[in-house]
Amino acid sequence: MKHAPRAAFAIAMICGALAPAVAGARSPAAPSYEPHVVVATLDTGTNPFHPTWRRPERRHPSAYIPGYPAAAQPARLSFRDDFADSVEASNAALQVIWNRRQNVWIPGTNIIGTWAHPTDHLPVFDARDTDKPSHSHGASASSQIAGRGLGLAPDAYLVVVDRTADGGTDVYKSNAEALRWAADQAWIDVIHTNIQNPLPLANSSSPAGLAGYADAVSYALSKGKVVVSAGGNFYAETTETSPHAGPPGVLVAGANDNCGWTSFSNPDPHVVMDGMGTESASPVGYGTVRFGGTSSASPRISGYVADLILRLRRHFGYRGGIADGALLRLPAGRRPAQGPLADGALTAAELHEVVRKTANPRSHASRWDGTAGLDCVPEPPAGPAFYPKVGYGEVSEHTIDGAFAVAVGKSTMPARPDEDRFYEASERLRTLFWG
């Protein structure tokens, strides 16, 4: 495989003023807004050439997403039959984007935005350069959010936030900056964070480099965003002591398997999905690779949440984004008689409860299952949900209709008293740690 110059691997949005428009760029079309959902994923990047992202849409995103910056410029990548040929043919477009360091969207895909830290030498394109390997983690994760054939929300739009950093910049500082940027974009609905930390009490009171990240998470929540975070794969470290999943209000994603519970997934998740040998997009080609852990469960749960939001917005014909802290706002004449939307507003906290309480307390077969592994612990034949390992249970294509019915007021919220007691105790602990 031929390797394009390092700069060819860069598609980046750097915090700061936008550069002048690219010469010859098309002006945004007149707006024609439609129900939509936008997910930002904080990981190591993606593979923008993979077929999982291909869509016929070529309009400027400001034409169909209210609040999207009209000044954002396109990265007109070339999609060839061969991956290496695509990268080589796209060198000039990628070089322009890197030099200008501005927000970009990729015509012909559902990737509508990017951000990367200024010190990152391989931003957004989660592949491998000739002399500097990328983590190659984000390509797999992002495809499980909104990739066609691989993700749970293929109709969602994706913002790739490459939160890695080089040049001595601390990764947690980079994450905090990335989180705050995503939180400040009113047109982003869901933020997925895929950073894990085994250190206890990793807030401002612990090693200095970790200060500020939990505050950034709380800031995103204050903006009305749904924040979904990987619970971590450290067997015993509780999610309450980790800055990504700890602050109250985050939807903590754990991993299970189609044969039962996984021993490695950290205690006290809120919901789980299969995280053993799942299928995802390759970071260095057009094929697929196996992916696992809460790194896999969390993007798939993010896709589940995004798909639920999109179903609700389509059901009510809601064409906006987050408004006054609510994911949906309905006029008096269109509100259901019961349920969380009875007052006309659906908040992230209310959606959090719907997702939790409609989860299946027992693992079950799903089209998203991966492979059974040695870390899988078979469930007992009967008994209550094992909250410390699976929270309220597993979410999948089998549970989303029930979640939708509760959200629109067609069904009442399920009673989950056993899980509620665990949850309330866990939330008190989170509040004690994070305030």
Q: Where are the beta strands (DSSP E) in 68-142?
A: 73-74, 104-105, 111-116
pLDDT band, residue 164 (cuts 50/70/90): confident
pLDDT at 6 over 60: no
pLDDT at 14 over 60: no
pLDDT at 32 over 90: no
219 or 238, which is more confident?
A: 219
H helix intervals, 255-414: 294-316, 348-357, 387-390, 400-407
pLDDT band, residue 5 (cuts 50/70/90): very low
> Among 44-48, 67-71, 347-351, whose mean pLDDT is lowest?
44-48
pLDDT band, residue 425 (cuts 50/70/90): very high
- The pLDDT score that the predictor gives to residue 247 is 87
The pLDDT tens digits for 165-220 are 665 556 667 788 889 999 999 999 999 998 766 555 544 444 444 567 788 999 99
| Alpha carbons 92 and 66: distance in angstroms, whole number | 30
Please, are residues 197 and 244 in contact by the beta-carbon 8 Å criterion? yes
| Alpha carbons 158 and 145: distance in angstroms, whole number | 8
- The pLDDT score that the predictor gives to residue 388 is 87
Q: What is the mean pLDDT of residues 33-54?
A: 94
**Could you tell me which residues come within 8 angstroms of residue 145 by beta carbon, excluding any fewer than 6 positions away?**
39, 41, 151, 152, 153, 156, 158, 192, 299, 300, 302, 303, 306
* Radius of gyration over every alpha carbon of the chain, rounded to an integer in angstroms: 21
Looking up tokens 């707006």, which residue turns up? 31
pLDDT band, residue 383 (cuts 50/70/90): low
Looking up tokens 């070339």, which residue turns up? 78
- The pLDDT score that the predictor gives to residue 93 is 76
Handedness of CA 102, 133, 156, 344 (dihedral sign): negative
Q: Is 127 left (phi over 0), alpha (psi -120 to 50) or beta?
A: beta
Which pTM value belongs to this model? 0.89
> CB-side exposure of 137: number of CA atoms within 13 Å?
20
pLDDT band, residue 124 (cuts 50/70/90): confident
| Alpha carbons 108 and 106: distance in angstroms, whole number | 6
Helix %, strand %, coil % of the chain (to 5): 30, 15, 55
- The pLDDT score that the predictor gives to residue 21 is 40
Please, are residues 35 and 2 in contact by the beta-carbon 8 Å criterion? no
> CA 290, 292, 295, 301: dihedral to nearest 10 degrees?
90
The pLDDT tens digits for 298-317 are 999 999 999 999 999 999 99
The pLDDT tens digits for 345-380 are 999 999 999 999 999 988 888 888 988 776 777 776
pLDDT at 238 over 80: no
pLDDT band, residue 25 (cuts 50/70/90): very low
pLDDT at 418 over 70: yes
CATH homologous superfamily for the domain 8-22+34-434: Peptidase S8/S53 domain (3.40.50.200)
- The first and second tokens of residue 257, run together, are 């398997």
Mean pLDDT of all residues belonging to the chain = 84
| CB atoms closer than 10 angstroms to residue 431 | 12
Q: What is the mean pLDDT of residues 404-430?
A: 95
pLDDT band, residue 239 (cuts 50/70/90): confident
pLDDT band, residue 259 (cuts 50/70/90): confident
pLDDT band, residue 263 (cuts 50/70/90): confident
- The pLDDT score that the predictor gives to residue 198 is 57
| Alpha carbons 88 and 4: distance in angstroms, whole number | 6
Output the CA–CA distances (angstroms, integers) from residue 229 to 190, 196, 277, 299, 364, in the order listed.
Answer: 11, 9, 19, 8, 22
pLDDT band, residue 130 (cuts 50/70/90): very low
- The pLDDT score that the predictor gives to residue 269 is 94
pLDDT at 287 over 60: yes
